[in-house]
Structures are given as structure tokens and as C-alpha cells.
Structure 1
Amino acid sequence: MSAPPKKPESAGVGAPTRARIAERTLRTDRWWLAPLLTVLGLSVFVVYASVRSWVRTAYFVEDYHYLTPFYSPCLSDSCVPGSSDFGTPIGELPMIIPLGFLVLPFLLGFRLTCYYYRKAYYRSVWFSPPACAVAEPHGTYTGETRLPLIVQNAHRYFFYVALVVSLINTYDAIRAFHGADGGFGIGLGTLIMVCNVILLWAYTVSCHSCRHVMGGRLTHFSKHPIRYRLWTWVSTLNTRHMQLAWTTLATLIITDFYVMLVASGTISDLRLIN
């Protein structure tokens, strides 16, 4: 008995079974605008965050305890005095290593593996595909089954680290309620840091992994009313995950930039109390 004939291997839009259309797309609208804006937005954040993470200047305001999130927690002897509330278990670091090296790779992993960001850079950077009804240039598709994309499956683990980092950012925001005389105080920097950490929490808990933790494995919601309630809250917030993903990129830059301006003496912090 002869073996059945082999099916032709998939080759994307160039597969033998696909219609032969020479044009990349028949769309006449500006379909390329969304991918372009995504690339520009992500590039601005990556360049800014990279520069600020390596410069090691103007990241802490001692008078008001403002610490930029790009350097938190600061655990090295290289950190400026007062910026290391969790101690300095790590010695001096060479300039090539950012002072926030302990958490930055995990936060980068959390963002890179985020379901929304996958969609964003798959379309805008890898053109897989760049838009609906627009052919992608790749001849084959392996999904997230091989390196490097198989790392995307570790998103749930990056989520747990992101929770810890959010707690640290919350501590930094509480610590920012500090006056120049050592007592209680509120400044514009305090409000910026609080707004940033609230939005970071909203982005983190609106994550699909958090939604799965809340109720993804439940068979009967009626038997777990508390987890069901939490699941519904997270599900509602999850519908805003894309907006929160972009908003938090902006608030991270705004928070860091404001701390930099105050720490460098370029501007004075607008004090509301003390």
C-alpha cells in the first residue's frame, strides 16, 4: 500500500494553494501609519530609557526622597547616598552595568512578552503581518515554538516579578511624601510618582496572566465567589490593557524626566505642603 502524498509545506502567502496576486495588498488607505507610529513610539521609549539607565546622574532628590523608577531599587555602593533604602549588598559597579540592573531585565521581559506588545511589535517591526489584508514578507511561520519566540511562554513568570517591582515602586511613592525638614511633605514630584505607580499597578493587574491567576483554572465560578469577583474586576481592566501599556510608558518617562530636572537643579520642585 503506497504512502499518501505529502502535502506541500506552507510558505505563507506564497503557498501553492494561495491565489496568485502580485500586489502586496489591494488596500488604498494608509494602512502603514499605525505600524509606523508604533515603531516610533516604542523607539522613543527604548532610546530614552536606555540613555537614562546608563548615565547615573540626576536620579535621586535627597531633600524629598524622589527616586526615579529606572534606578529602583538601587542596591549598589555606586548609588548616591540616601537612595538605597534596601541597603547596598552589591559592591561598586562598572559604568557598563546600569544601577537598576537587578530588575530592569525582568521588567523588559515582562513588557516584551506582554500579549499586547507582542501584537504591537509583531506587526510593526516583524511585519507578521503589518496590517489586515497586507501580505507579510516571511515565507514560513513557526509561531512561538522556537527560539527566540519560545521565550514568550515565560510571560506568566515575569508577571510575578513585576508584582514585586510594583510593590517597590509603591514604597518609593510613599517615601516621596517627605518634606525638606524631614517631616511630612507633598510636592508636584510626589503626585507624579503616585500617579505613575497607580497606572503601573493598573497595567500589571490588567495583564492576561493576572486574569488567568484570578480565575483561569476555575470550573465552577459559583463555588469560588471571591475569586470570581476578582476575575470580573481584572477582566474589566483587561479591556484597557493596550491603553495602559502606552500610558505607563509615557508616565515612566515623565516621572524620570521630572526627577532628573529637580535633581540636576534645573527646576525647583513645586511644593504643596512643606
Structure 2
Amino acid sequence: MTSTLPPPEAAGWKRARIAQRTLRTDRWWSGPAWTVLGLTAFLVYGLARALQQDHYWVADYHYLTPFYSPCLAGQCVEEAAVFGRLPWDFPWFLPFAVVSLPFLLLFRLTCYYYRKAYYRSFWQSPTACAVREPHGRYTGETRFPLVLQNLHRYFFYIAFGIALLNTYDALVALFHGHNGGFGIGVGNLVLLTNVVLLWCYTLSCHSCRHVIGGRLRSFSRSPARYRMWTAVSKMNTRHMLFAWVTLATLVLTDLYVALVASGTLTDLRLLN
């Protein structure tokens, strides 16, 4: 059936010219605003703690904050330096965990969810649906520097290794209770909770989903990988939640270790 209506151009129709940035009446700006506040708060706290270079280690219970793992500087406490120390001290502006922190930040910076978050909030491209963006043109991620976002898949492998390191830090602390035996304190629970949630965020990553099942031509020939891919796909639906939760748990874990290390808090022991 052919339409009898004339084309819009023939009828003299034109695109609507709206002077307002948007006609939306809801609080469309609240989401981007909270995103700016949340990400900025994390970056400010993380930078301050990385440059503090103190209160990162609780010798009595082997608590090491993830912000300082692995600790490689010459001035690191020997017991905290799992992989040994470099033969020189780091300057004040260089974090002790200089090997891991840049890659962890790049892993999150190039994350699919975080891209959407800071594109909309900081870059305003666009700030929200049906809201005019302030940029004259759109080039996507085809030019420098945004083309480097494609390195996310490689940062995933590094982040996976760092998650293993954080897991080791949390598990080894269980065997440093009183008298060097097995023990559990509130700090152990904090470290373990942080590690579990970090794994949830890391494994729910789109890159992990692709590594497991993205190149398979037939799932029927790889039932084990199909089950793993299905599990990761279910976790992937909560990737945004894990992205925000792990920012909070990283801060809370580091803060707890710092307060115990400084003597402000006493770690409550539940066992031994």
C-alpha cells in the first residue's frame, strides 16, 4: 500500500527550531551532577591518600590498603613489600603503588560504563536525552585521544592480575592474628568484602564477557565456556552498580586501614 501523503519537503514542513536547551521539566541535571560529585570526591580522596605515603600498613594483623599494593618504594615497610623494594626512595609526588594505580585508573577510565558517566557529566556529550549538547560536532571515539579507549581490553588483563594481588593481600592477613596464627578481625572482613566486590566489578566487565565467549562460533561445542559466559552476562547487567559500589568500598577499606594504622581505631578481633 502506497501512502498518498506528500513528502514533508513538498508540504513546506521544516524541522522545529527550538531556542531552549531543552523542553524537559524534570530534574534531568541531577544525575550528571551527582556523577561529577561522586567521581571528583573519589579522585580527590585517592590523590590525597596516595601522596600521604603514611598509615597504609597495620603490622599487627598484616593489613595493607589496596591503594598501596604492591608497595615497591624503598621507604615501604619491609613486611608490606610482598615483591620486595626498589633500591631507592620514591619522591613525595610518586605513589608507592606506582605500578598498579595508573593501570587501575586507566581500566576504570576506559570502562564502558564510566565512559558514559563522564561523557554525560563532565563533557556533556550529551548531558541527558533530549538535551542539546554544547558541542558543534560529534566525532565519537575515532580520533585521538578518545581512540585510545579501545585499549580497555588490555587494561582488563592488568586489572585482573591486580585483583589477584589484592586477593592475596586479603587472604594472607587471615594468618597474621595474635601470635602469628589464624585470626579474623573487622579489618579482615573489610578487606575480604572489598576483594569480593572488586572481583564482581572486574568479572562483569564487557571485556571479560568477550574474552570468555566473544570469539566462539558455536556455544554448543563449548558448554563450559557457555555457562561461564552466561554467568558473566548476568553479572554484566549490574556492572554500573559494581562500578559505584567498588569506588565506595575502596575508600572505606583504605580509610579503615588508615585509622587503625594511625591508632585512631582499634581493630575488633572476632577470632584469635
Q: How does the TM-score come out when normalised to structure 2?
A: 0.93
Equivalent position of 1:224 in the other structure: 222
Separation of aligned partners in 2, 1:30 and 1:240: 24
SS at 1:181 equivalent: helix
Is the CA contact (8 Å cut-off) linking 1:75 and 1:90 kept in structure 2?
A: no
Is the CA contact (8 Å cut-off) linking 1:156 and 1:209 kept in structure 2?
A: yes
Aligned partner of 2:263 among 251, 262, 265: 265
| Mapping for residues 21-40 of structure 1, pairs under 5 Å | 21-40=18-37
Q: Following TM superposition, by how much is the alpha carbon of 1:186 offset from its aligned partner in structure 2, in angstroms?
A: 0.8
Letter in 1 for 2:241: Q
Letter in 2 for 1:203: Y
Equivalent position of 1:167 in the other structure: 164
Is 1:111 equivalent to 2:76 in the alignment?
Answer: no
Equivalent position of 1:13 in the other structure: none
Return 5+ residue gaps in structure 2 as ranges.
Answer: 1-13
Is the CA contact (8 Å cut-off) linking 1:68 and 1:259 kept in structure 2?
A: yes
Separation of aligned partners in 2, 1:62 and 1:151: 40
Equivalent position of 1:55 in the other structure: 52
Aligned partner of 1:250 among 248, 251, 266: 248
Aligned partner of 1:234 among 232, 235, 243: 232
Aligned partner of 2:148 among 146, 151, 165: 151
Is the CA contact (8 Å cut-off) linking 1:61 and 1:259 kept in structure 2?
A: yes
Separation of aligned partners in 1, 2:15 and 2:189: 56
Separation of aligned partners in 2, 1:231 and 1:249: 25
Separation of aligned partners in 2, 1:74 and 1:152: 28
Letter in 1 for 2:23: L
SS at 2:179 equivalent: coil
SS at 1:272 equivalent: strand
Identity %: 64
Separation of aligned partners in 2, 1:182 and 1:72: 22
SS at 1:176 equivalent: helix
Separation of aligned partners in 1, 2:235 and 2:80: 33
Q: Following TM superposition, by how much is the alpha carbon of 1:237 offset from its aligned partner in structure 2, in angstroms?
A: 0.4
SS at 1:87 equivalent: coil
Equivalent position of 2:129 in the other structure: 132
Separation of aligned partners in 2, 1:104 and 1:138: 32
| Mapping for residues 180-199 of structure 1, pairs under 5 Å | 180-199=178-197
Separation of aligned partners in 2, 1:32 and 1:90: 50
Aligned partner of 1:68 among 65, 69, 77: 65
Letter in 2 for 1:157: Y
Equivalent position of 1:80 in the other structure: 77
Of 80-89 and 140-149, more deviation after overlay is shown by 80-89
SS at 2:178 equivalent: coil
Separation of aligned partners in 2, 1:143 and 1:55: 38
Is the CA contact (8 Å cut-off) linking 1:45 and 1:253 kept in structure 2?
A: yes
Separation of aligned partners in 2, 1:86 and 1:18: 64
Aligned residues: 258
Q: Following TM superposition, by how much is the alpha carbon of 1:91 offset from its aligned partner in structure 2, in angstroms?
A: 2.3
Letter in 1 for 2:127: P
Letter in 1 for 2:189: L
Separation of aligned partners in 2, 1:272 and 1:114: 37
Separation of aligned partners in 1, 2:101 and 2:15: 44
Separation of aligned partners in 2, 1:36 and 1:18: 31
Q: Following TM superposition, by how much is the alpha carbon of 1:81 offset from its aligned partner in structure 2, in angstroms?
A: 3.0
Return 5+ residue gaps in structure 1 as ranges.
Answer: 1-16
Is the CA contact (8 Å cut-off) linking 2:78 and 2:84 kept in structure 1?
A: no
SS at 1:118 equivalent: helix
